[in-house]
Structure 1
Amino acid sequence: MGYTTDFIGHVDIEPHLNAGEIAYLEAFRHARHFDRGGSAYDVPGNPLAPDHEGVPNERYNALAPGKPQLYCQWAICGSGCCLAYDGNEKFYQPVAWLRYLIDHLLAPGALAEKERHHQLAEFTFDHRLNGMIVGCRRDTRELFAITVTDNVVATEVLRAGDAWDEPPLAYQEAIDRDRDALVRRRRDSPAARARARGAGTVVDLGRRRS
């Protein structure tokens, strides 16, 4: 069944991300990080389109080397000034993914800078991240803080969790109602129907390929 964690807060990014960085990180967030082979930084031009035809199930469900989870749920804001939780369920590796983004793609001396990957041609690798995000696990009500100070990520438990599944709190029920309504609207939208036909697009990274 798994569990869901509610997150509030954000992490500031200085200098702000440029358009190329935002486009790549948005595609990165939507991409399923299974073991595709090739470079660790390859991202499909349209990550919402089906991309697993002919891929065995065991490979489709196998994590790419070095990736913490199949999906990264840290979303970049439209102006590139910060990142925050994307609101989707079952984000189990928020700290590991945050460290991955900083260490591989954003910080000075980031690991991806040495690879010179063609999809990262617009990355500047000069960003400093600072901020705080607080999470509350639905299953135990554990409350914890994730802090980022000059690209260093740390965690602290603010309230220890209980040893049994707790019923949802009122605000959590409200979040779930809103989420379910949004899912229904998106599922019935023209864009969703187009994606089901393999024609939808989140961001076209094809023109950044060489």
Structure 2
Amino acid sequence: MGFSTVYLRPFHFDRPLDPQHAASLREFHETEHEYDDGNPGGEGMPPTYYCQWIPSADGRQLEWDKNEKFYFGKEWLEYLIQRFIAPWGYQLNGASPWYIDEFEAAGILMVTDNVVSDEDRDIGSVKREFGEFDIYGMG
């Protein structure tokens, strides 16, 4: 049994993604990431098996795919920015409040000109200010 991190807001690209770039990120999202030893992670490598950040339908945002058990959201953002977003010449910005019910943890994941940071917050205040998402009811 695991836990799920809920992200309540998307991040914004400085301009819409080129359709080829959006398709590349969607394909990357659908791929399981592991290495010769069968494990993910390592220096400069994807942090877990699944990247749950995906471009929005219009290619203007990067958002959580709303599937359960998303781990290492910050590390995944850093990886995507380093591997794809920055080399393609895009800037990502925004702030996504997040929470993990199982640990009573919460915060704000921020991206400013492709630099990622995270700030811890009280879970109650995040839910009151930004709302909640029922991951199992999908709504």
- After TM superposition, list the pairs within 5 Å mapping 1:1-210 onto structure 2: 1-35=1-35, 59=38, 62-63=39-40, 65=42, 66-107=45-86, 110=87, 125-159=88-122, 174-178=134-138
Superposed CA deviations along residues 84-138 of structure 1, whole A, max 9, x for unmatched, are 111111111100000111111111xx3xxxxxxxxxxxxxx11011101111102
| CA distance in structure 1 between the aligned counterparts of 2:41 and 2:3, rounded to whole angstroms | 23
Superposed CA deviations along residues 52-106 of structure 1, whole A, max 9, x for unmatched, are xxxxxx62xx116511110000010111111111111111110000011111111
CA contact (8 A) 2:12 2:94 kept: yes
| CA distance in structure 2 between the aligned counterparts of 1:177 and 1:86, rounded to whole angstroms | 14
CA contact (8 A) 2:33 2:40 kept: yes
Does the residue aligned with 2:20 lie in a helix, a strand or coil? helix
Does the residue aligned with 2:74 lie in a helix, a strand or coil? helix
Structure-2 residue corresponding to 1:168: none
Say which structure is richer in helix: 1
Say which structure is richer in strand: 2
Q: Tell me the percent identity.
A: 30
Does the residue aligned with 1:72 lie in a helix, a strand or coil? coil
Larger Rg: 1
Relative to the length of structure 1, the TM-score reads 0.57
CA contact (8 A) 2:51 2:76 kept: yes
| CA distance in structure 1 between the aligned counterparts of 2:101 and 2:137, rounded to whole angstroms | 15
Unaligned runs of 5+ in 2: 125-131
Unaligned runs of 5+ in 1: 37-57, 111-124, 162-170, 180-210
CA contact (8 A) 1:15 1:126 kept: no
Letter in 2 for 1:91: F
Relative to the length of structure 2, the TM-score reads 0.85
Structure-2 residue corresponding to 1:202: none
Q: CA deviation at 1:14?
A: 1.4
Superposition RMSD on alpha carbons, in Å? Answer: 2.0
Structure 1 residue ranges, 4+ long, deviating more than 6 angstroms after superposition: none
